[in-house]
Amino acid sequence: MDTKLKVPLLERLTQRRTPESAGDGGLNRCLGIFDLVNSGFSIVVGAGIFVITPVLTANTTGPAVTISYLIAGLAALVSALTYAELASRFAGIGSAYLYVYYVLGELAAGVIGISMLIEWMIGLASLIKSLSIYADQLILNGTIIAWEGKNLAVEVPYMTKYVDLFALLILLLCGGLNLWGVKETVVVSAICNVVVMASLILIIVMGFVKGSTDNWFRVVPEDADHGTGGYFPYGATGVFTGASLAYFSYGGFDAIACLGCEARNPQKDIPISMVLTFGLIMSLYMAVCGAITYVAPYYTLTHEAGMALAFASVPWVVKVVSVGAILATATGSFASVLATSRVVFGMAQDGIMYKKLTYVSSTQVPVVAIIISLILPALGIILLDIEELVMMNSGGSLICFCLTNICVIVGRYQPPHTESKGVYTAAEKQAILATLTFWACSLASCACFKNIGSIITALSTGLFFLLLGVIILCFMRLKLKEVWEPCTFKCPLVPWLPAAGVLVNSSLMVSLPLMTWARVGVCLCLGLTSYATYGVYNSNITVDKMQGDFNYSGDSERMSIRSVNSPYTDTDKLVDNEF
């Protein structure tokens, strides 16, 4: 008798990971809280504070950039709290991919896994390009960029202006460091971060010592392109526009969750590390922004290296800040390769991607996953300029943040996996439907508000969708009963706080250009094609169902067939109810 069970396609797409189907991957559990905070600090600080902040200050916010970072930090804190709760509940490798696999099922996990790869790989390419620009401008006076612009020019719309071979070399060096080993990578990053932290503290101290309140309140620009001067040269609009741009400078804290299979005590250490990292980064961002606008007129910070050039009157400070900027971007690149490769490894380990990507060397390093993690960034460096890379990175991260907020809401109605065996309860199904509908309403509402202009119907339509989403949440909150499951950290004010996170992220999603979403869509389609041709047939859960040991029960006309080693599914439950 053929004991293979044919698993229906719908069941394959919605089946969920359970503790029984999880593995540790054979990686080295050597990271403590300090190592995790160090990795998170490395990837967040990078280009965000040293490259984006000066240009953002000069062109969008002025001295009020501090308020923009405060608003953006509070918005990003919502996603950080949801990540912390999910990390405390679910152990394993893969970060948001893992959490969605546990809560929403295999297809949703595939979508968010591909979105994370877009986020991390494209983000890595933008970091590497920032590093090459910063190093060349501040150390070699633009020699390399000038040569590449002359000899390797590219004249294609929406593409890079030149092929950056210097950036490709840096990318290979980052990959080589990660192949050395995770602990070695973290140690090198920690050494670099000491210099980065010292340079940031120097900026704060020297900025407030050498600066003047005139730069905050009395400076008037020499041209009409940089606002009206004072603390709010671009008005309230500039502050909120700056907040939407500054929001992405907080991206990367979720890299900590990618190291779940290399943390000593992941369900305790990862939430603590996330909260510590976010608090440290938010404090530093606000202090540095205040200092940099205190020491130099905001409209002079137009250069990508403006953070260092603000101290042009003190040459030794320029050198220290320049070294800190280069090392910050470098450590961010190291950490990006580390996080990306772990997502690739986690998806391959689950059978969503090709199993050969799980090869681990004798030093417990996922070699093939690291090499794969360098391919898309290399293409990004060759084909796209830094602005397009940053926008694509934003698109991937916004999809991830929305789905993790949804997972926290749905997870509150999910019984422990040891009891549910992967079966969707009625409450979970209703919660999933309600939260996905709320997300759709949020997108529709934000799209209406964005295009409002003077059209009253756009305002009324946007308010209608927003009210509809709130009513759906209220209905879910009143009708469904939460399942209490103790964990080391819980996000407060659920479902309202995660719902606010979905709304904020939706507003940022509709603000990105259509061309950016077209590129993200192409990457998603390519990734889902890989899942459709391989993962849907070879995921661990599907293989266990089809090839496990089977128990047979019932009479000669009806039999209940179930794999002893596979999760208990909706199909199993329906079959059992027939007997």
Helix, strand, coil % over all residues of the chain, rounded to 5: 75, 0, 25
The answer to whether 23 touches 115, Cβ cutoff 8 Å, is no
- Looking at the predicted structure, is the pLDDT value of residue 557 above 60? no
Higher-confidence residue: 93 or 424?
424
How many residues belong to the chain?
579
- Looking at the predicted structure, is the pLDDT value of residue 113 above 70? yes
The answer to whether 560 touches 539, Cβ cutoff 8 Å, is no
For the stretch 349-391, pLDDT in tens is: 888 988 888 888 877 788 888 888 888 888 888 887 766 777 7
- Looking at the predicted structure, is the pLDDT value of residue 252 above 80? no
Q: Which amino acid is at 86?
A: L
What is d(CA 397, CA 79) in angstroms, rounded to the nearest whole number? 11
Tokens 């160090």 sit at which residue? Answer: 38
- Looking at the predicted structure, is the pLDDT value of residue 19 above 50? yes
- Looking at the predicted structure, is the pLDDT value of residue 560 above 90? no
- Among 448, 421, 364, 416, residue whose Cα is nearest residue 544: 421
- Looking at the predicted structure, is the pLDDT value of residue 559 above 50? no
For the stretch 29-60, pLDDT in tens is: 777 888 888 877 877 786 567 767 887 888 88
Name the band, by pLDDT with cuts 50, 70 and 90, for residue 108: very high
Tokens of 104: 């929403």
Question: Which range scores top for mean pLDDT: 114-118, 408-412, 485-489, 548-552?
Answer: 408-412
- Looking at the predicted structure, is the pLDDT value of residue 468 above 50? yes
- Among 233, 277, 229, residue whose Cα is nearest residue 255: 277
- Looking at the predicted structure, is the pLDDT value of residue 5 above 80? no
**Straight-line distance from the first to the last Cα atom of the chain, in angstroms, rounded to the nearest whole number:** 22
| Range with the poorest average pLDDT among 263-277, 316-330, 383-397 | 383-397
Contacts of 525 (CB under 8 A, 6+ apart): none
How much is the mean pLDDT over the chain? 80
Element spanning 547, H or E = helix 540-547
- Looking at the predicted structure, is the pLDDT value of residue 74 above 60? yes
pLDDT computed for residue 558 by the predictor: 30
Q: What is the CA radius of gyration of the chain?
A: 25
For the stretch 276-287, pLDDT in tens is: 888 888 899 999
Question: Which range scores top for mean pLDDT: 181-195, 287-301, 516-530?
Answer: 287-301
Q: How many CA atoms lie within 13 A of 198 on its CB side?
A: 13
Contacts of 249 (CB under 8 A, 6+ apart): 44, 48, 49, 52, 53, 69, 72, 285
The answer to whether 434 touches 472, Cβ cutoff 8 Å, is yes
Residue 53 burial (10 A CB sphere; 0-12, 13-18, 19+): buried
Name the band, by pLDDT with cuts 50, 70 and 90, for residue 294: very high
What is d(CA 158, CA 479) in angstroms, rounded to the nearest whole number? 50
| Range with the poorest average pLDDT among 7-16, 329-338, 537-546 | 329-338
The answer to whether 289 touches 57, Cβ cutoff 8 Å, is yes
Query: Is the torsion defined by CA of 457, 459, 465, 467 positive or negative?
Result: negative
Where would I find the beta strands (DSSP E) of 225-376?
none
- Looking at the predicted structure, is the pLDDT value of residue 527 above 80? yes
- Looking at the predicted structure, is the pLDDT value of residue 94 above 80? no
The answer to whether 447 touches 486, Cβ cutoff 8 Å, is no
For residue 19, say if its preceding peptide bond is cis, omega within 30 degrees of 0. Answer: no
pLDDT computed for residue 302 by the predictor: 78
State mean pLDDT over 462-484.
90
What is d(CA 121, CA 155) in angstroms, rounded to the nearest whole number? 24
227: number of Cβ within 10 Å: 21
State mean pLDDT over 93-100.
78
- Looking at the predicted structure, is the pLDDT value of residue 499 above 90? yes
pLDDT computed for residue 578 by the predictor: 35
Contacts of 151 (CB under 8 A, 6+ apart): none
For residue 221, say if its preceding peptide bond is cis, omega within 30 degrees of 0. Answer: no
Helix (H, G, I), strand (E, B) or coil at 553: strand
